Structure 1
Amino acid sequence: MEELDLTTREGRFKHFGSVDPIEGKKPKEKKDMADLQSTKKDFLFPVESVGINNLSYPVVIGGFQSVGTFEIATSLNQDEKGINMSRLLESLETENNQGVSLDFNTLSNILSRLRTRMQQESAEITAEGKWYFVKPSPGTHINGMAHADVKYSMSVSSEGITRKQLGMTAMVTTLCPCSKEISEYSAHNQRGYVKVLLDTDPDKVVPENHKEQLYELLEVNASSQLYPVLKRTDEKIVTERAYENPRFVEDLIRLIAYDLVELDWVTGFEIECRNEESIHQHDAFSRMRYTK
Structure 2
Amino acid sequence: MLKDVQAEPDFRGVALNEVGIDELRYPLLVADGQGGKREVVASVTMSVSLDADVKGAHLSRFVDVLHTWRDQLGPDTALAMVDDLRRRMGSAIARASLTFPYFLERRAPVTGSVAFMDYACTLSISAEADGQDLIEQVRVPVTSVCPCSKAISDRGAHNQRGWVTIHARPRDLCGDLWFDDLIDVAEAAGSSPVYALLKRPDERHVTMAGYDNPVFVEDIARDAAGALHSDARIASYKVRVVNDESIHNHNAYAQIPWTNAAQPKNGSAS
Normalised by the length of structure 2, the TM-score is 0.89
Give CA-to-partner distance per residue, 1:8-38, whole Å, 9 cap, x none. xxxxxxxxxxxxxxxxxxxxxxx243x3211
1:49 aligns with 2:23: no
Q: Check the 8 A contact 2:161/2:244 in 1, yes or no.
A: yes
Deviation for aligned residue 1:48:
1.6
* Match status 1:80 vs 2:54: yes
One-letter code aligned to 1:68: A
- Structure 1 unmatched runs, 5+: 1-30
What whole-Å deviation, never above 9, does each CA across 1:191-216 have from its counterpart, x for those lacking one? 11111111222x454316x2222111
- Identity %, equivalent residues: 30
Taking the aligned partners of 1:124 and 1:265, their CA distance within structure 2 comes to 23
Q: Given residue 186 of structure 1, which amino acid in structure 2 is its aligned partner?
A: G
> Greater CA radius of gyration, 1 or 2?
1
Query: Out of 177, 184, 204, which is 2:147 matched to?
Result: 177
4+ residue runs of structure 1 moved beyond 6 angstroms? none
Q: Which residue matches 1:3? A: none
From 217, 220, 237, the equivalent of 2:185 is 217
Deviates more, 1:55-64 or 1:68-77: 55-64
Residue 291 of structure 1: how far off its partner (Å): 1.6
Contact 1:204 1:265 in 2 (8 A): no
Cα deviation code 1:234-264 (max 9, x no counterpart): 1121111111111111111111001111112
Secondary structure of residue in 1 paired with 2:192: coil
Alignment match, 1:256? 224
Q: Which amino acid aligns with 2:12?
A: F
What amino acid is the match of 2:247? I
Measure, in 2, the Cα distance between the counterparts of 1:64 and 1:75: 31
Specify which of 194, 213, 216 is matched with residue 164 of structure 2: 194
Bigger relative CO (Cα 8 Å, ≥ 6 apart): 2
Q: Distance in 1 between matches of 2:134 and 2:2?
A: 42
Which residue matches 1:154? 125
Match of 1:140 in 2: 111
Task: Supply the AA of the counterpart residue of 2:17.
Answer: E
The residue correspondences of 1:55-74 to structure 2 (distance < 5 A) are: 55-61=24-30, 62=32, 63-74=37-48
Q: Deviations over 1:45-93 (max 9, x none)?
A: 3222111111111122333322101110111112111111111111111
Residues 1:36 and 2:10 aligned together: no
| Paired letter, 1:94 | T
* TM-score (structure 1 length as normaliser): 0.83
- Count residues with an aligned counterpart: 255
Distance 1:136 1:190 in 2: 21
Matched letter for residue 86 of structure 1 = S
2:264 aligned partner: none
Kindly state the Cα deviation for residue 141 of structure 1 after the two structures are TM-superposed: 0.9
The separation in 1 between residues aligned to 2:12 and 2:67, in whole angstroms, is: 31
Q: 1:32 to 1:127 in 2, by over 3 A?
A: closer
Instruction: Please list every run of 5 or more consecutive structure 2 residues that lacks an aligned counterpart in the other structure.
Output: 261-270
CA RMSD of aligned residues (A): 1.6
Deviations 1:141-162 (A, max 9, x none): 111111111111110111121x
For 1:95 and 1:290, locate their aligned partners in 2 and report how far apart those are by CA, in whole Å.
Answer: 30
